[in-house]
Chains A and B, each alone.
Chain A
Amino acid sequence: MSGEMRRGTRVRAGAIRFTFDGREYLGQPGDTAASALLAHGVRQFGRSVKYRRLRGVLSAGPEEPNALLTVGRRPAVIPNVPAPQLKLRDGLILRSQNRWPTLSRDLASLLQAGGGFLGAGFYYKTFIWPNWRTYEPVIRRLAGLGEAPSACELPPPDVEHLSCDVLIAGAGAAGLAAARAAARTGARVVLCEREPVCGGELEFEGASIDGRPALEWAAATLTELEQRGVRVLSDTAMVGGFGGQIVLHAEPGGLPGANTLYRVRPRAFVIATGAVERPIAFVDNDRPGVMLLGAAERYLARYGVHAGRELVLFANHDRAYAAAARLAAGGMRVRAIVDVRSEAPGAADRAGTLRAELERGGIECLTGHAVTAAEGGARIRAVRVAPLVGAGRERRIDCDALLVSGGWSPSVQAGLQEGGTREYCAAIGAFLATGQPSWRAFAGAANGHLELGAVLADGHAAGEQAARHAGRSVPAGSGAAGRGDEPPRLAPFCRSPASLRLEKRQFVDLQNDVSVADLRLALAEGFTDIEHVKRYTTLGIGTEQGATSAVLGAAVLAELKGEPPAAVGVIRPRMPFQPVTLRSLAGLRAGAAYRVARRTPLHEWHAANGGLLEPSGLWMRPRHYRASGNDASAAAFAEARRVRETGGIVDGSTLGKIEIAGPDAPAFLDAMYLTKASTIRIGRSKYMVNLREDGIVLDDGLVMRLAADRFLATLSSGHGDHMLSHFEYYLDTEWSERRVTLTDVTEAWAVIAVAGPRSRATLESVLGADWRSALSSLGHMDFTAGQYQGRELRVLRASFSGELAFELHCRPAIAVPLWQALVAAGLLPYGLDALDILRVEKGYLVSAELNGETTPQDLNMEGLVNLGNPCLGRELLDRPGFHEPARPRLVGVRACDGRGKFRAGAQLTAPDAPTRPVGYVTSAVFSPSLGEWIGLALVARQLGESAQLTACDPLRGAQTPVRIVPPVHFDPSGARMKS
């Protein structure tokens, strides 16, 4: 096999090198990992999740539960890639999963050596003594499907947004018929197909459509579709969707690499996704070498790969005979066909004729029998077969591959999202999706039709109906007529009989190691609803989401409960409908593109001068400057001390700034702020506070009056957008008839705060003689405007540090020259950490105190409240609940011994109730001015001025006795800033 070139519909001549578990193999172009390894005789592809049993390939599609491979090298591996979908590329490195140290010798498989049964919910019933944590590390290492990567080297996908009249998922017979019908009405159609070629099952059936070979019809249809402008996307799977948008994922390699994500918004959606073959449960039905019947046909037809040399077929329908004939013609020897039905197909049917022919050719055709067990070790060597009724001994038939088919389950996942119900269809022994919204419909095998004639008619009708829904008129005309395999005459059969003891080896869900015994256990423990059974036993979770296990599980559960399958129902699968990497789903919103990075005009200067830039919300801001100290706290300490001793400059450009203008602007601001803005003189600013509707403080800042009808409001750095929306909302509701305009000018002005004893003198020397008299006469909270280097500059005398300070509002173009001039004149920069130290020393508030739960009274602003301005939030401010003794009050805290340390977040407790906090520390810093730890805290109002409390930090096991002090720790009279 390895020597000669295989021939098939998907492979070409050539050689591709790849490795699997460290060994090198050769494949052909067009091969998948599964086909190439099967061609080399590899039968073991991995081990199962729970019991670590060896597993082989079960299927030929993304529904593969067993053969999931890890691709690539650590740390950027890609786990859980289904081998039948993984197209080979030169140099691919593949590894099997869930085994250590090697696939053939796995340590954890000793778990099953003692015949141990790790039944459903075993975590809760074992590993109890002495403590779950004793076992947890080991179990966490063993648990899980595949290995999570710790790095991602995947490229971002291309993202395309499409809009169309009709989207058709699946280009098999039904999908092609639907696309043709819809396109002929002139509708804009998008057709997607998960496989690299269209046609679906037509590849195998040897059918004829409209009098010619089916594949010829398919090719002609595709040509017609292209001529009519239909967009045909192959290698593109429908993976999910919400709210009218369907998500398609194109991954040409089956392996994450260059890929495309399509977000399609169709007016009508036809789901022609076909049906997935399902297995039958019998003892050891997971042994490598047990494969789905259709999968073996695919490997033969597409890749020229033989599933085995001596085959046994096990099925419950007529199609097994046609399949046997095709496999035998392909060069494999079929030893027996085990048919569970009590009546063999008669001589009148084509299946009966075939059966007779096969028997004449030496194939044993058993009727009314079932395979009860798959024997062998690392691979299957024989099957045990027994009659289902009557006496008769169990026999053994040697084989090296067992091909199973229990019927087909329509792929209805897309119809069970956002509504949609499941209905049991006895004819096919599976569930259909009903109760669909008018724009979404199923067609073909996905709609329960298994005969080609019905499939084509159904697809045609669905395409016409979809075009109608999209507003097109449908011309008269019928669809294609075809004839393929005979109807399967399926007799529902889910599991072979077995003793209770052996039920734990009859697997219902291969991916999650769920057996018949698990289902029986779940029922015994009171889980009767199938969705509960799913969660308790893990049936149908994982990458295959019940594709091969849901219907089988429902049937077995129905048998165990003694109820009809229609009453039991089936589990609801979740998106994505086939494995997709998170990288692909993220589209373009990942990595550096995930969030906007906002930078101030001084950003480059900070970066070039040792500023440690970190995200603060969306902004990048310097925490401190490297030249100031060895580590973060030393640098912040030095910077803060320097500001108080001589002075410093800080970049405050991130401050939110909104201009409010118009004849009604003063009245508008009076309503929006706790105190009146209309009384501010032109050229002056005022500290103002906003309330929410419910009386809670929303934000604080300065409001500057630029003119009679023009104000500039500054807001916290993080709140700019939020406050703009807040003002805009009231402008559009209660104030919509008034003449007020709002303009966000946050990025129109850079802000440099110059603070410290030397600030005025340095500013005068930098700004020049023009500014001298204005600066020297500038009172506290006044501002003046002028120019610097030909651009606008406003100088506002206000302080967030408690020192004599000036806020320079300048146009961004002059921000860097102005900053550099100030540095050259001797004022060094300080960062956010130092800013925080300075403001805590002065008891100024930031979001830690304005935390969305505090009222103005809590924050010692009763005086402002009592001014009585009728503003937003005033009504609810008077609620009795806001005046209770347990309401928080803003206070300062210091360690009792003048040395102790405490952190923000520390809970404060009183001596008489050490486990019930009476408040917590909101901010804490080590103060250079006072030489000890100081903080601000919110404590219950009822506590006295000099209460003794303990600051408790349970995470770090620290406790510090503290005392309550006034919140302004340094220079309470404000003399320094008013000098």
Chain B
Amino acid sequence: MSVRLSARFAALKRENRAGLIAYVMADDPDPDSALEIVRALPAAGADIIELGFPFTDPMADGPSIQRAGQRSLKAGGSLNSTLALLTAFRQTDHDTPVILMGYANPIEQMGYEAFAANLSGAGGDGAIVVDLPPEEDGPLRAAFARHGLPIIRLATPTTNETRLTTVLAQASGFVYYVSVTGVTGAKAVGAEAARAAVSLLKARTDLPVAVGFGVRDAASAASIAQVADAVVVGSAFVDEIARLVDDGRAHEAPRAVAAKVRELSEAVRAARQMERA
């Protein structure tokens, strides 16, 4: 698996804290601003970056990320331009793991082997493909294995015992626990239920467990950070971009996103200290 990714999770473990995984969409609101946004994420406290690539029909995403995808497409976004953004980011940052997230069709059109080679060449550290469940991810898994890249598998509140065996069988990198039944950003996570699910997952796998989909504010991020290895936040950052674009102040987006990341990151970093205190 990706050296950057395992090194980052090992470091988080040493520091006894959860990581913050920050999701943003490539080329949202435009290629230059997006590069600036992504470059600012590590210093603001993002431990891992999840970089969305746009798709016209994002069936698992709520309104925030749907609109981010539409802004990206309007600005010329594609899987290719996402890889270009990653390449540009890697010129100045060699340590922050970057995971791509999106839907299968753009990858199908590029070809699984080509995607794996391009992602590896661009300095990527894995991918989450929402509509490739374990039953369908074989070809991509094989291509990724040739390039030492992990496919991040998803577990959800509907994943029962039998299903979990299937999910964990070929999982690598980390396990992404989708904490709500629903689309991204729509419902607030029930922190207690998510914590219980994380404990169950950790009993079944040695892989790090990240929690996402319903985490929007510092309080819920902190609560989950007490038990999970990482917390994924996306819609809250993407909403900052939307707000400023709507106000005609898109140029302020990088600073606003960084400020939001800092707020969430501080909550995540403080979570286990609070627990001990």
> Do A and B associate with each other?
no
Binding site for B on A (CB under 8 A): none
Binding site for A on B (CB under 8 A): none
